[in-house]
Amino acid sequence: MDYARPEVMVFVFLAVASIALYSYLSINSYVNGRRKEREAYYKNETVRRLTESQGAGADAAIALLREEDRLQGRRRLEGTKLRGLITTAVGLGLMIFLGIANDDSHLIGVAIGVVPLMVGIALLLYAYRLAPKEL
C-alpha cells in the first residue's frame, strides 16, 4: 500500500489536527476552571477578613465588591461591542466574497452574508442603545 498518497495524507493531517485541537481545548478548559476557582476562593477569603474587621474594613470590602461588579459589567459591554463589530465585518466580507466568487447568481452570495451582518448589527444595537448605561 502507498500511504503517501495525497488523499491519505489529507486524512492523516485532519485526524492529527483534530486530536491536537481538542486536546488543547480540554487542557485549556481545565486550567481556566481551576484558575477561576482559585481566584474566587482568594477573593472570598479577602472579603471575609475585611468584613470581620472593624468599621472601615467592612465599608472598604463593600466598595471593593461594587467596583468589581461595575468593572465586570463594563468589560461585558465592551466585549459585546467587539463581538458586534467582528460579526458585522464577517457579514460584509462574506457578502463581498460570495458576491464576487459566485459567477451565476450574485444574489445568493449576498443573501448568505446578510445573516451574520444582521446578527452583528443586533449586537451593536444592544450594546449602544439597549444595554444599561450605569456601569
Read off the C-alpha cell for 11.
Answer: 486524512
C-alpha distances (whole Å) from 88 to each of 62, 71, 109, 124 are: 39, 26, 16, 9
Q: CA–CA separation, 30 vs 24, rounded Å? A: 10
The pLDDT-based confidence of 3 (bands split at 50, 70, 90) is low
The pLDDT-based confidence of 1 (bands split at 50, 70, 90) is low
Q: CA–CA separation, 114 vs 96, rounded Å? A: 11
Q: For residues 67-94, give the mean pLDDT.
A: 92
Question: What is the residue type of 29?
Answer: S
C-alpha distances (whole Å) from 79 to each of 53, 70, 73, 87 are: 36, 14, 10, 12
Closest CA to 127 of 69, 68, 97, 86: 86
Taking the model in full, what pTM does it have? 0.62
Asked whether 61 and 50 are in contact (CB, 8 A), the reply is yes
What are the domain boundaries of the chain? 1-52, 72-135
**Is residue 10 over pLDDT 90?**
no
Q: CA–CA separation, 89 vs 94, rounded Å? A: 9
Q: CA–CA separation, 74 vs 63, rounded Å? A: 17
